[in-house]
Every structure is written in structure tokens, then in C-alpha cells.
Structure 1
Amino acid sequence: MRFFNTEGPVRADKHYLLPPLQRWHLDEVLALIEGEKYFLLHAPRQTGKTSCLLALMAHLNREGRYRAVYANLEGAQAYRERIEPAMATIVTDIAMWASDGVGDTEAPALAREVLAQTPPGSALGVFLSRWCARLEAPLVLLLDEVDALVGDTLISLLRQLRAGYTKRPNAFPSSLVLCGVRDLRDYRIHSSAQQAVITGGSAFNIKAESLRLGDFSEAETRTLLQEHTQETGQVFTPEALQQVWTLTQGQPWLVNALAYQACFRSPEGRDRTRPIDAAMIEAAKEHLILNRVTHLDQLADKLREERVRRIIEPMLAGESLEQLPLSDLEYLTDLGLLRQRNGGGIEIANPIYREVLPRTLALVPQASLPSISPTWLDEQGQLDPEQLLAAFLDFWRQHGEPLLKSAPYHEIAPHLVLMAFLHRVVNGGGTLEREYAIGAGRMDLCLHYGAVTLGIELKVWRDGRPDPLSRGLGQLDGYLAGLGLDGGWLVLFDRRSAQPPIEERTGVDEALSPGGRRIQVIRA
């Protein structure tokens, strides 16, 4: 039985898969290898990079013109900038991968000999020279997880590879692939020895190309899902196929994870006579988010980085991105957090990531919430919007000020505290959806609980800006129209300086939107 893969490289005998070399333009790659080029492959985590490298190694070795060897360098990461043990690990690991992967049993002995006789700063270069000199075919070396290395260790690796470049193909790798999450331009190496930042481009200026492995197309996503149908007879409804694409935008791990949860983990999905429908895909999405699976947790962990915060914080607030370094945008794109729309603008890469980011940021305020009695429920256990409004106002007056300090992103602290409160409200009995975009000037929330749907718009009044009420009413009108609602909340957070305490300035009024909708205007 095969299944959808969410851990490690794909195997044709175990996993549904798209042939890896079809995803990576093979003709272009082979032309680079034929030209004895050194180049990069980069893509976000868990998109299939290692699978592509292993498939390329197998393809080249089958043809017989080259000796292709894959090696993962991640083992040297633990040594950080301690060059001697790090280089010893790299040389040893390359030799072991050669022995285990392609049967070159002499490589480990050569590695031990070189390490015993050669200083660490040149051990890799010497090993590669001696190794290539005795091979019968030109060596194509595929090095994975290169950007896991840091500082002086990474500098040493890149410079030894550059130093041996002119000796190829007889006494150095004929062609070389460096693989990682980031492009070479973002190998910003803080050298402790030189107290400076060295870019990857200056340390490795022999790069011919930088190839990026893309996400699945919509057609590829459907093809992968239909492998399950062909093998088991269990179909995906058209709505489910569309939902997988909509939620993931083809991000390979997300596609596999949603399908695996729906088809192999949920009780309904394990019944092969039952079609996989859109509701099951939606339930799978919620499972992945609520259980903070490793892929999403790693992604959310990046939110702590300052260069990530500089972009994600204004995006969540709906502000424009101004005077941001291009390198920051490129970094977030390489991580897979952002994508560029056809029109040229940037946005969060897919709806699941768009949901995960604010949820993650709201976790600390959510954990800091006091005990709250669910006074928003009526005697039948249904949500009462008027009681919910009263409960929020009471909560905000009592606890808003201290909870704002717990939010990790200061500029959107009110948004995060309100979302934390609403998560306590839904608490497994409903859902909370979010919409935000660069330059929109707002964040929209949609709360579903039983038969109740509540549309909420959040705006911030900052120093030097006009009262956002008028614009907010117009924006909320369009949002509510899309939801088919005739009323909602407009929450205006007053973040101007020298304002009275929260408990004094928090209140609610009623207003009509331009479309005649009844709006509760909450000033907080």
C-alpha cells in the first residue's frame, strides 16, 4: 500500500508521487552539468529538494557518463564555527555517502588519510582532488543542506570549493550542486574571525545559475491526489480537489499532509467506499493547524526573526510596506512565506499559512487570558451576538491594557488580544477566519458559531491619521456584502498617544454603513 508522504524523500514503492525530475527542468540541469557548471538548487523546506537530488543522482549513474554522489552536510551544523570538527564531519560524511550510496568503498579510507595529514582549512579540497583523480568518470557532487552551516565553517566550505574550481573535471568535481532553503545571495555569513558580514556571492563567485524548485501546479496537485483514486478506488469530489488547491496553492508538503490526514487518519476517510469531500479537507486543515505539526511550527518559529517581523507585522495590520530592504522580501520568498501575485504584488503564500501566522502570534495573549465565563451563550448553548458584545467590552475594559503587553508584535497587539478572546469564544464549537492584505488598512474576521456568522473589521487610529470611522464603514460594507450579512462589528483601536485609560475610552455606538447595514462601532 502506498500513501501520501510527509516525511523525507519520496519512494516510488511507498508513496504517491510526481516524478521528481519532471518538476525540475531536467534538460536545463543536464545542460549545466554538461557545461561543468557549479550551481544552486533552493526552495522552502519540505518541497522535494532532496527527492530531486536523489533522482538526479540515480539518473546520472544509470547513464554512466558521470559518477554522481549525493551527500547531506547537516551533521556539521552542530559544530557551528569550529572549523576542525566541522570539516572533518563534512569530509567523512561525503565519503560515507559515496560508500553507502554508490558503492565507493575506498572513499572512507581516503577521507581518514586526508584528515590525518591535512589542516582543516584545506582538508575538503585535498580530499576532493585526490578522490576525483582516481575516479574513472567525472564527479557530479550534490551537496544538500549547505545553508545549515554557519559562519567560518560555511566560509571555509565555499572557499575550498572555489579554490579547486579550476582543477575540474580531472582533479575536482566536474559539476557541483549546492542545495538549501536559501539562495546564495542570502548566505549572509557573520565571520567571528573577521567581525564582518560576508555574502555568499563574494565567497563563492563561481555560481553559474540559481534554480528554484517550485510548488505543484493545479494540474500537478490533482494528478497527485488522483494517484490515490487509481490505487484504492476512493475518489475526491470536485469540490475537495478544488479545496486542496485553494488552501495549499500547491505547496507540496501541505498537499500531501491534507490528503494523508483526510484519507488515512480520519475515520471517515479510511472508509474507501466514501468519497473524500470538501468538509473532510477542511477538517484536515483544522487538524494540522490545531496540532501545530512540525512543518507549520517551523514556519511559525520564523516569526521571531526581526527581518520577518518587519514584513509580516505591517501585512497583518493591512499597512503598506515602505522602505523595506529587497533582501528581506527575497528572504521571506525563499522561506516560502510569501509569493508574488501575477500583478507583481506580494501576499502570504497560501491560505493555510495566512491562517497560521496570526493564530501563532495570538497564542501568548491567549495563554495569558484570565478565566472567562461564557456569558455569550444563551440557555440553548447558542451564541448571542449582543451578549458577546457585552462580554467583550467588559473583558477589554478589565484586561485589555495588561494583555497588550503580552503580544509579541506591538503594532498589532490589539488585533492579537481580540483574536485570543474570540478563540476562547469559539473553543472548538466554531471557527474564526481572517483576511488581511498589504495596503488594505484593516484586518477582517469572520466568526462562525452554530447558526451565527459575525463579520468583524479591525482598524487602528494612529497619531497623525484621521478618524478611521468613515473609511471603515465603507470597507466593512463590502466585506459584509460578500458574507451575505446585514450587520457586523467595526472595532476601532485608538493607539494615539496621550489617550485616557482603556477602561475610560472603551464604548460602543451604532451606525449605518453606506449600504444601510447596522454596524456596532466599538471604540477601544
Structure 2
Amino acid sequence: MRFFNTEGPVRADLHYLLPPLTRWDLEEVLALIEQKKYFLLHAPRQTGKTSCLLALMAHLNREGQYRAVYANLEVAQTTREDVTRGMAAICSVLGRSIEFYLQDPSIDAWNQTFGPRLTPEDRLLRLLATWASADERPAVLLLDEVDALVGDTLVALLRQLRAGYSQRPQAFPNTVILCGVRDLRDYRIHARSEPAPITGGSAFNIKAESLRLGDFSEAETRTLLQEHTQETGQVFTPEALQQVWTLTQGQPWLVNALAYQACFRSREGRDRTRPIDAAMIDAAKEYLILNRVTHLDQLADKLREERVRRIIEPMLAGESLDSVPLDDRDYLVDLGLLRRAAGGGLVVANPIYREVLPRMLALGPQDSLPQISPTWLDEQGQLDLEALLAAFLDFWRQHGEPLLKSAPYHEIAPHLVLMAFLHRVVNGGGTLEREYAIGAGRMDLCLRYGAVTLGIELKVWRDGRPDPLARGLEQLDGYLAGLGLECGWLVLFDRRSGQPPIEERTRVDEALSPSGRRIQVIRA
């Protein structure tokens, strides 16, 4: 029985799949190869790049006009700046790949005999020239994980490819496709041999095109899910199909992971007579996030990078990105963390990532929380909002100051501490949803626990700015209207310099929104 794939390239005999060659413009790719171009394919991790390269290699070799070979260069990542070891690793991978995919052991034998006698600056160049010259059919080389290489090893690779470029196709590969997460423009190569960082564009200025592999469309997402229905008879309800699309926006790994968890891991989903419904998809989402599966954990690890922090921190706070360099914004789009919305502007790529980012950032404060008795629950186990407010005020006065220091992003530390507290509240019994928008100067939270829904807006009062109360009441009014609520919380974090300690300045007042909704204004 086939299943939804979440590890490595797809295989038609094992996995539900969309034919990889339909996911990019094959005519364009074949035209570039016919024109003897060198070009790039890039996309975020686990979106199907390797599957596309392997399918292209198989297509070219089946047609017989070219000799195509795929090689993954990630093994050379560990060599770092050691060009001798790096080139030896790359040439070894190429020799073994040519033997495996083309049943041609001669290049691996040549590399073992002559490779060690050559300088690292010449070894790859000579190997590729030997391979390209050995057959009248033009050679096509597909190099995966190129951006896993660093420093002088990466520079040596790019420059040797550039050095042989003019000899193609008789004495060098007709076409080379470099594949990785980032576009070549994002390569910032810090090489010991260079006085200053160099860009990928300057080291590899023979690049003709840069192709990006996109996410699934809504129609493709449904087609993939219905592969399961055709094979097993188990249907997805219309609401479940829509929920998969809404949560993932077609991110391939997320689509497969949600469906795999719902259909193959959950007890209800393994009953093939039971339809997969939206509640099962939501449960699958929670499982993926709470268990920090590899894909989401790797995503969260990126939050430590300074280039990522410079964008995600103001974005979570609702601040403008005017001062953030375009290169940094493009970098996060290439990583798949953000996307450019149809109407303009940057947004988090999908609702699951939108939930994962602040959750992961709140783990430090959450792990630092003291033991808190759930005084916010009544005798029936229902959420009591008055008791919750009292519990938060008491918690904030006692523990707010030290917990702020445990948050990884200083500018949104209060947001993260509050979310850590609320996660303790909803643990096992509710959900916490987040919304944030660039330039709005706020973050909105929706806490759901049983029959109770609470809308919360977070704003920060900084030096040189007016009291955010009036603007906050207006914004919260619109948020509560969308939730169908008549009351909510407005939390104003006072981050101005020279303020009294948190325990002295924390208080709560009541105010009315412009539409007459009753608002608890928490000044913290």
C-alpha cells in the first residue's frame, strides 16, 4: 500500500505523488538544456527539488539524446574550508553517481587513479572534462545541495565549473543545474582566500536562469489527497480538503505530513470506513507542532539566525520592515518562511508556520515558568475569565521581570512571556491562535477553552510614541467584531525607559471600545 511521503524523494511504487515533471515548466527546462545553458533550481527544504531532479535525469536518459547524472554534494559540507578534502569528496560522489546511474565505472576509476595527483583547483575540472569527452552525447550534470558547501570549497566548485564552461559540450558538460534552498544571489561566501565576502553571482556569472519550484496549488493539493481515496476508498470530507489547503497553503511537506498523520497514524484515520474530517486534520496539525517534527524543528532553528531575527521580531510585533534590507527579505522568502501576498507585502508562508514561530520563541519563557495552580478553572472545569485575569496579574507582578530575560527576542519579550502563560492555561484543554500584521503595531490572540472564547490584543508603548490606548481600543474593536465577541482584553506593555518596576505599574482598568464593547485594559 502506498502512503503520503514525508522523507526524501518520492517513489511511484511507495508514495502518493504528483508527477514531479509536471511541477515545473518542462519545456522551458528542456529549452535551456538544448541551448547549453547553466542554471539554478531553488526552493525551500522538503518541497520536492530532489524528486524533480531525479525525474529530469530519468527523462533525459530515457530519451537518449543526453547523458544525465544526479549527484548530491551534501557529503562535502563537513570539509568546510578544506578545499583538498572538499574537492576529493565532490569528485568521489560524481564518480560513484556516474557509475550508479549510467553503469559507467570508468570515471570513478579515473578519479581514484589520477585525482590524487591533481591540485584541488584542477581536480573537478579535469574529471568533468574526461567524462564529457568520453561520449558524443552531451553530458548534463544535476548538482543538489550546492549551498550546503561553504567558503573556499564552494568557491572552488563554482570557479572550476566556470573555467570549463567555454569547452562545452565536447569537453565539458553541456548543462549544469545547481540546486539548493537559496538563489545564487543569496550566497555570501566567506572564503579564507578572499579579502572580502564574495557573492554567488560574481563567482558563477555564467548562470542563465534561476528557476524556483513553487508549492502545490489548491487543485494539486486536492489531487494528491484524492490519490489516497482512489487507492483505499477512504474519502476526505469537503471541509477536510479545504482545511488542509488553508493550513498549508500547498507547502508540500506540510500537505503530506498532515495527511499521513490523519490517515496512517491516528486511530480514527486507520479505519478506512471513516471519512477524514476537518477535526482530524486539526488534530494532526496539533500533533505535528507539539511533537516538533523534524521539518518544523529545522524551521524553528532558523529563528536563531540574525538575518531571520531582523525580520521576524518586528513582524511579530506588527512593526514596519522599512529598514530591513531587501536581501534579508528575499532570503526569508527563499527559505519558505515568508511569502509575498498577492496584494503586496510580506506574510508568514502559511497558518502552521504562523503558529510555530511564536510558539517556538515562547519555549524559553515557557520552560522557565514557575508552578502555577489553575485557579482560572471553576468547579466544573470551565474557564473563568475573571479568575484568569486575576491569575495573570498576580503572575505578571511576581514573575514578569525575570521571565523577560529568558525570551530570545528582546523587542517582543512581553508578548512571548504572555503567550507562555496562556499556553499553560490552554494546555490539553484549549487552543491559542495568533494574528499579526506588518505595520499594524499589534499582535492579536484568540484563546479558546471549551465554550469560552477570549480575544486579546497586545501593544507596546515605546519611547517617543503616544499612549497606544486609543488606537488599541479601535483595533481590538474590529478584531472582536470578527470573533463575534462583546468583550476582550487590551494588554499594553510599557517599555519606555525610566518606568517603575513591573509589580508597581501593573494594573487593570475598564474601558469601552468605539462600538461600546467592554474592554479590560491591562497596563503591564
TM superposition score normalised by structure 2? 0.99
Aligned residue in 1 for 2:125? 125
Superposed displacement of residue 136, structure 1: 3.3
Residue 491 of structure 1 contacts residue 521 of structure 1 at CA under 8 Å; is this kept in 2?
A: yes
Identity value in percent: 81
Amino acid at match of 2:344: G
Amino acid at match of 2:321: L
Could you say what secondary structure the match of 2:197 adopts? strand
Mapped to 1, the partners of 2:329 and 2:375 lie a distance apart of 44
Could you say what secondary structure the match of 1:191 adopts? coil
Residue 73 of structure 2 contacts residue 144 of structure 2 at CA under 8 Å; is this kept in 1?
A: yes
Mapped to 1, the partners of 2:500 and 2:195 lie a distance apart of 48
Could you say what secondary structure the match of 1:376 adopts? coil
Amino acid at match of 1:63: E
2:258 pairs with 1:251: no
Could you say what secondary structure the match of 1:514 adopts? coil
Mapped to 2, the partners of 1:195 and 1:374 lie a distance apart of 59
Mapped to 1, the partners of 2:187 and 2:471 lie a distance apart of 43
Aligned residue in 1 for 2:261? 261
CA-to-partner distance for each residue in 1:120-176, whole Å, 9 max, x for gaps?
Answer: 111000111111111231100000000000000000000000000001001100011
Aligned residue in 2 for 1:60? 60
Residue 460 of structure 2 contacts residue 492 of structure 2 at CA under 8 Å; is this kept in 1?
A: yes
Superposed displacement of residue 31, structure 1: 0.1
Superposed displacement of residue 13, structure 1: 0.7
Aligned residue in 2 for 1:381? 381
Mapped to 1, the partners of 2:445 and 2:68 lie a distance apart of 52
Aligned residue in 1 for 2:426? 426
Mapped to 2, the partners of 1:116 and 1:510 lie a distance apart of 78
Amino acid at match of 2:472: G
Residue 398 of structure 1 contacts residue 503 of structure 1 at CA under 8 Å; is this kept in 2?
A: yes
2:154 pairs with 1:154: yes
Residue 338 of structure 2 contacts residue 348 of structure 2 at CA under 8 Å; is this kept in 1?
A: yes
Superposed displacement of residue 195, structure 1: 3.6
Residue 247 of structure 1 contacts residue 352 of structure 1 at CA under 8 Å; is this kept in 2?
A: yes
Aligned residue in 2 for 1:213? 213
Amino acid at match of 1:289: I
Mapped to 1, the partners of 2:205 and 2:113 lie a distance apart of 30
CA-to-partner distance for each residue in 1:282-338, whole Å, 9 max, x for gaps?
Answer: 000000000000000101100001111111000100011122111001100000011
CA-to-partner distance for each residue in 1:232-255, whole Å, 9 max, x for gaps?
Answer: 111101100000000000000000
Aligned residue in 2 for 1:10? 10
Aligned residue in 2 for 1:358? 358
Superposed displacement of residue 116, structure 1: 2.5
The number of residue pairs the alignment matches comes to: 524
Could you say what secondary structure the match of 2:417 adopts? helix
Residue 114 of structure 1 contacts residue 127 of structure 1 at CA under 8 Å; is this kept in 2?
A: no
Mapped to 2, the partners of 1:102 and 1:230 lie a distance apart of 35
The gaps in structure 2 that reach 5 residues or longer are none
Could you say what secondary structure the match of 1:508 adopts? strand
Residue 110 of structure 1 contacts residue 131 of structure 1 at CA under 8 Å; is this kept in 2?
A: no
Could you say what secondary structure the match of 1:196 adopts? coil
Amino acid at match of 1:221: T
Superposed displacement of residue 114, structure 1: 2.8
Aligned residue in 2 for 1:520? 520
Amino acid at match of 2:183: D
Aligned residue in 2 for 1:170? 170
Aligned residue in 2 for 1:316? 316
Mapped to 1, the partners of 2:262 and 2:4 lie a distance apart of 10
Mapped to 2, the partners of 1:15 and 1:281 lie a distance apart of 20
CA-to-partner distance for each residue in 1:197-239, whole Å, 9 max, x for gaps?
Answer: 0000000000000000000000000000011011111110110
Mapped to 1, the partners of 2:196 and 2:315 lie a distance apart of 31
Aligned residue in 2 for 1:137? 137
Aligned residue in 2 for 1:335? 335
Mapped to 2, the partners of 1:334 and 1:98 lie a distance apart of 30
Aligned residue in 2 for 1:437? 437
Superposed displacement of residue 106, structure 1: 1.4
2:348 pairs with 1:326: no
**Runs of 4+, deviation exceeding 6 Å:** none
Could you say what secondary structure the match of 1:509 adopts? strand
Residue 107 of structure 2 contacts residue 130 of structure 2 at CA under 8 Å; is this kept in 1?
A: no
Amino acid at match of 1:242: Q
Superposed displacement of residue 100, structure 1: 1.2
Where in structure 2 are the equivalents of 1:180-195 lying within 5 Å? 180-195=180-195
Could you say what secondary structure the match of 2:190 adopts? strand
Mapped to 1, the partners of 2:163 and 2:86 lie a distance apart of 19
Aligned residue in 1 for 2:466? 466
Mapped to 2, the partners of 1:402 and 1:438 lie a distance apart of 28
Mapped to 1, the partners of 2:39 and 2:315 lie a distance apart of 34
Mapped to 2, the partners of 1:393 and 1:447 lie a distance apart of 17
CA-to-partner distance for each residue in 1:339-386, whole Å, 9 max, x for gaps?
Answer: 011122110000000000000000000001111111111112211110
Residue 114 of structure 1 contacts residue 126 of structure 1 at CA under 8 Å; is this kept in 2?
A: no
Mapped to 2, the partners of 1:256 and 1:451 lie a distance apart of 32
Mapped to 1, the partners of 2:448 and 2:304 lie a distance apart of 30
| RMSD after superposition | 0.7
Q: Which moved more, 1:153-162 or 1:341-350?
A: 341-350
Aligned residue in 2 for 1:499? 499
2:106 pairs with 1:95: no
